[in-house]
Amino acid sequence: MKPRIILLLTVIALITFYTQPSFGHGVGGETLPPVLIDGKNATLSLNINPPIFDSTTGEYEILIRLYDANTQEVIPHVTYLVELSKDGKQLLRERFHDDSSNLSIKVIPKNGPIKIQGNNFGELGWMKNTDLFPLKIEGPIFLSGGLYKFHIEILTVNADSNVLKNPVKYDASISLAQKTIHQVSYEKKNYDIGVMTYYDVIQDFEFDEPSRTITFSMPYEWSQKNIEQTNVIHQELHIPKTFPELLVTRYDGLVNGIPILEHAITIDDYTTDSRIVHVVLNQKELFSMVDSIQDKSKIDFTITPSKMEKFPLNAFTHNAIFQVGLSWEPTPIMPDQNTRFFVDITRYFAPKIQEDAKFDLVIKQRGSELYRKSVTGLIGAQEKTNYYDYTFSEKNLGPVIISIEGINGEKLSSVDYVIVVSPKETKKTFPIRIPSTTQDRTQGNYFVDLTWIPENLQPGETEFIFTIYDRNLQPVPKAEYDFTILQNGQALYKNSGMAQAGGSFEDVIFFESNKGPITLQIENINQSDESIEIPIMVTPEFPLGLSLVLGTLFAIVIILYHKTGQILRHPF
């Protein structure tokens, strides 16, 4: 079994653990709750194949099957009225019939009017000619990924003449997964970040360079009925392995400004060219958020590299025999200092019994081996029993592949990890000098020196200290201003003030519910149209699970008082 399949099965297992069995919106397919039809407990299954949108795909298939939920036997001679729509626009409304109830409709995506190939039997609808000449529809169906809604009515069952007096109606929504590519720039380098959505098309993708935060949204109806039909919301971020600043061991996530639990974000490094970050929200988590959601028409996703490490990194060997955990000390990994790597090996789904292990520890970068050594260790031992040391040099900055190869001589008992060697930390000093800009985004006539204490923004009190200068770097006395803090497009705080001697400060208290990116703005500087803006990150103080609880218990409290006097400057 392939490792990616194992990881996806693990994700599905987590979803199953946290939710009750249900029927709902599916990725490529859906099975609807049974309904009593002509004395049988009838269940309708609906599938689209292939389940992933690709503009080069020339043909899709819609499969509809009506069967007895008790015996699994198909119900014969079914006439279906099929209505298909997307984004509120009807794409198809036709009758179809199949004597075996296994209705197969080939779909050829093409702009233009709907054309159907098959035999039309009037009230019974369209049927295939023969097995060699199936039903085909040519038209503007499946021209893009996203959520497709089906309304299906059962008109006849068991015999062509057995017309139901009251047609049985089913409603289903099926997601045609779609991957989009978004180019971002970081430190003057361009990278392509992919987003695979398994629900509906994404919108408003943005990347904030200072905080390395990825945001995007997706249409979603936050209603009781819709959540009951949603088994899971699943999105994937595809991050290039050449983008070291995003290859962290843990990511923090927000949905519509609400922190999501740690288990909702998992890392998959099995692919050769990119890391996949899975974001999975199950039905229980969607229900826990719904009362706090203001905009009920969409989901806003925010993914940020966490300042906290998550160890060990767990992966399965290519033959799925072993699970291997990797961690290291100290963090981050920097050149010219010894790094101790811990390798924990257990047999997958087997009793935890200690046994000897031999394998190769390999360190690779840019296609070349930096280090290879045959080592020994223990399988099934306590964490951090097996450890190995290595020191990187300044030449090794950036992504590095750590491989555990050939455990006990099995070539496929191997696994790879992506780590990053970071540059040595350099001291930055406050204040941050920011030039003002006008409404048309040209440089203005002022500079603002900005400092905040403490330097690591966390829940609690923060003092923002700033001085307003003119172009000659002279403090501007009695300079009026509007001080604003924004998060997710909403103003957490806005206050007007005056810097008596050019300088002033604002005291703000943040809570755990404010964790994540914020934007600080100082506008209308000295009664002009000029302003400054800077993105900042509020990092967590409590574990993520506790922060979610606190976020629902406490409202955002911001305390402000305005002072004048000498500006303090602190190095960090």
In a shared domain, residues 198 and 329: no
In a shared domain, residues 295 and 203: yes
pLDDT at 21 over 60: no
pTM, rounded to two decimals: 0.61
In a shared domain, residues 326 and 256: no
Structural domain for 382, as ranges: 313-421
- Among 12-16, 112-116, 533-537, the range with the most confident prediction by mean pLDDT is 112-116
Between the CA of residue 137 and those of 93, 99, 323, 446, 514, what are the distances in Å? Answer: 12, 19, 47, 64, 51
Specify the range with the lowest mean pLDDT, choosing from 87-96, 177-186, 534-543.
534-543
Residue 16 lies in a domain: no
Residue 139 lies in a domain: yes
Token couple for 44: 């309708």
In the block, residue with structure tokens 């574990």: 543
Question: Each residue of 239-264: b (16+ CB within 10 Å) or e?
Answer: bbbebbbbbbbbbbbbbbbbbbebbb
In the block, residue with structure tokens 């009017």: 113
Q: What is the pLDDT of residues 166-201, one digit of tens each?
A: 999 999 889 899 999 999 999 889 999 999 998 888
In a shared domain, residues 470 and 379: no
Looking at per-residue pLDDT, the higher value among 96 and 230 belongs to: 96
In a shared domain, residues 411 and 438: no
CATH number for the domain that contains residue 344: 2.60.40.1930
In a shared domain, residues 436 and 547: yes
Residue 432, CB-side half-sphere exposure with 13 Å CA sphere: 17
Pairing of strands 60-68, 26-27: unpaired
pLDDT at 571 over 90: no
Residue 427 lies in a domain: no
In a shared domain, residues 368 and 345: yes
Q: How many structural domains compose the chain? A: 4
Provide the 10 A C-beta neighbour count for residue 311: 17
- Among 312-321, 337-346, 393-402, the range with the most confident prediction by mean pLDDT is 337-346
Provide the 10 A C-beta neighbour count for residue 123: 11
Residue 426 lies in a domain: no
Q: What is the pLDDT of residues 195-217, one digit of tens each?
A: 999 888 899 999 999 899 999 99
Peptide bond preceding 535 in cis form (omega within 30 of 0): no
**The predicted structure's pLDDT at residue 543:** 37
Q: What are phi and psi of 57, to 5 degrees?
A: -70, 120
Give dist(CA 23, CA 41) in Å, integer: 15
For residues 91-107, give the mean pLDDT: 92
Q: Which amino acid is at 395?
A: K
Residue 415 contacts residue 318 (beta carbons within 8 Å): yes
In a shared domain, residues 186 and 297: yes
Token couple for 244: 């070291």
In a shared domain, residues 220 and 122: no
**The predicted structure's pLDDT at residue 426:** 54
